[in-house]
Amino acid sequence: MKYLLIVPALLIATPALAQSTSPSDLIQRYSAEAGRAADAGRGKSFFLANHGSGKPDTPSCTTCHTKNPRSAGKARTGKTIDPLAPSANGARLTDLAKVEKWFRRNCDSVLGRSCTAGEKADVVAWLASQ
């Protein structure tokens, strides 16, 4: 009986759940997963690079977020995207499910693959240092 009740509850609750986190929690989590320390400098190069291995309209993270994570970006639809740097936008990097969802999408769009834990650690470290 317990079994029957728990399973549907989990299925419904999980996706909507806002798992609260912080930039430092994320750095710790991703660098533990990667087995190495985060490197903000590497995160910066990664973010600014033209990868070109993903979808043709989105060669770089800067396509939508601009080169400055403290300024607002623009989605390809024209819609404004609030800055990514936590110093400019306190809501950033505070919700694990949201961060994971956007890494999944944006890495697929830009790189044509998932980002590694190391890449995520580096990007978060750079964004948090801005």
User: Which residues form the interface with ligand HEC (CB under 6 A)?
Assistant: 47, 58, 61, 63-65, 75-77, 81-82, 84, 92-93, 98-99, 102, 105-107, 109-110, 123
> Token digits for 63?
């396509």
Tell me the helices (H) and strands (E) count for the chain, helix number first: 6, 2
Nearest residue (CB) to other proteins, 2 versus 79: 79
Q: Give the angle subtended at the CA of 116 by the CAs of 112 and 119, to the nearest 5°.
A: 100
By CB under 8 A, is residue 75 in contact with other proteins? yes
C-alpha distance across the termini of the chain, in Å:
51
Identify the CA nearest to 43 among candidates 109, 103, 108, 91: 103
Distance of alpha carbon 65 from alpha carbon 19, whole angstroms? 24
Minimum Å gap between C-beta 81 and other proteins is 9
> Token digits for 111?
């790189």
Among the listed ranges 11-19, 20-28, 65-73, 82-90, the one in contact with other proteins (CB under 8 A) is 11-19
Nearest residue (CB) to other proteins, 1 versus 16: 16
Among the listed ranges 32-40, 41-49, 75-83, 85-93, the one in contact with other proteins (CB under 8 A) is 75-83
Residue 44 interacting entry, from ligand HEC, other proteins, none, C-beta within 5 to 8 Å by type: none
